[in-house]
Amino acid sequence: MPEYHQPVLVRQTLALLDPKQGGVFVDATLGGGGHSAELLRKIGPTGTLIGIDRDPQAIQFAGKRLLATDGHILLVEGNFADLAEILSSRDISNVDGALFDFGVSSHQLDTPRGFSFQREEPLDMRMGADAKSAADIVNNYSEIELARIIREYGEERFARRIAKAIVNRRHKEAITTTTQLADVVVTAIPGGGRWQD
């Protein structure tokens, strides 16, 4: 089976979680299931693993990968922000450990889903189809709302400049690709060429 995403720090993660036979563990950011496969190996057929991911592609891939392992597996397409509800709806009141591997996987960057500005792709950036695409947000949100999003989630000090540049550009044409958005951002910030090779 091709690798979805090469999990990092697996040995160190297992050392910290210290999974035992029969344990109950949560992988709140399942991804391709690399960490989960190792957790399942440690907790064995009497253990339970709850794997959560917002990305339906990740759930599908990890499901295939984890079928080859022993153990009780619950896969949930959802958000770890709802962890308490996810566990209580399955009558799980205690877990022995939980893994949260924040960030975007190499799989998400390598597939044309709009997570990378390295090549021309549709401006999507969604984990699942139920959310608004980045193109919807960039082309429809107010300048004030865009600035807030860029400042809060991108921690960008030039958020207002970037938001203004986005609004100015979208008056001329819709911003529909990752490279269009990257070009707008580059022109909006001082020394904008710094991200390019």
Q: How many CB atoms lie within 10 A of CB 132?
A: 11
Neighbour-count burial of 179, counting CB atoms closer than 10 A to its CB (0-12 exposed, 13-18 middle, 19+ buried): middle
Task: Answer yes or no: are the C-beta atoms of 4 and 61 closer than 8 Å.
Answer: yes
What is the pLDDT at residue 56?
87
For residues 114-139, give the mean pLDDT. 80
Q: Cα 150 to the chain's mean position, in Å?
A: 17
153-158: average pLDDT:
93
pLDDT value, residue 126? 74
Third-level CATH fold of 112-190: DNA polymerase; domain 1 (1.10.150)
Decide which of 191 and 79 is more confident: 79
Q: Starting at the edge strand that comes first in sequence, how are the strands of the sheet with 97-99 ordered? A: 72-77, 48-53, 24-27, 97-99
pLDDT of 165 reads 98
CATH code 3.40.50.150 region(s) in the chain: 10-108
CB atoms within 10 A of CB 78: 16
For residues 167-185, give the mean pLDDT: 95
Confidence of residue 197 (pLDDT cuts 50, 70, 90): very low
What 3-state class would DSSP assign to 49?
strand
| CA atoms of 123 and 45, how far apart (whole Å) | 42
pLDDT at 60 over 80: yes
Residue 1 pLDDT level (bands cut at 50, 70, 90) = very low
d(CA 106, CA 5): 6
CA distance 20 to 51: 17
Nearest-angstrom CA–CA distance, 24 and 18: 12
What are the tokens at 124? 């999507």
Lowest mean pLDDT among 1-5, 6-10, 146-150, 168-172: 1-5
Mean pLDDT of all residues belonging to the chain: 87
CATH class of 10-108: alpha beta
pLDDT band, very low/low/confident/very high, at 120 (cuts 50, 70, 90): confident
As annotated, the residues of the chain forming the CATH 1.10.150.170 domain(s) are 112-190
59, two tokens: 């759930």
Distance of CA 14 to the CA centre of its chain: 21
Q: Pick from 121, 20, 113: which is nearest to 71 by CA?
A: 20
Overall average pLDDT of the 83-90 stretch: 97
All residues at 6 or more sequence positions from 148 whose CB lies less than 8 Å from its CB, including other chains:
159
Predicted model pTM? 0.65
Token pair in block for residue 86: 């996810």
- Split at pLDDT 50, 70, 90, the class of 131 is confident
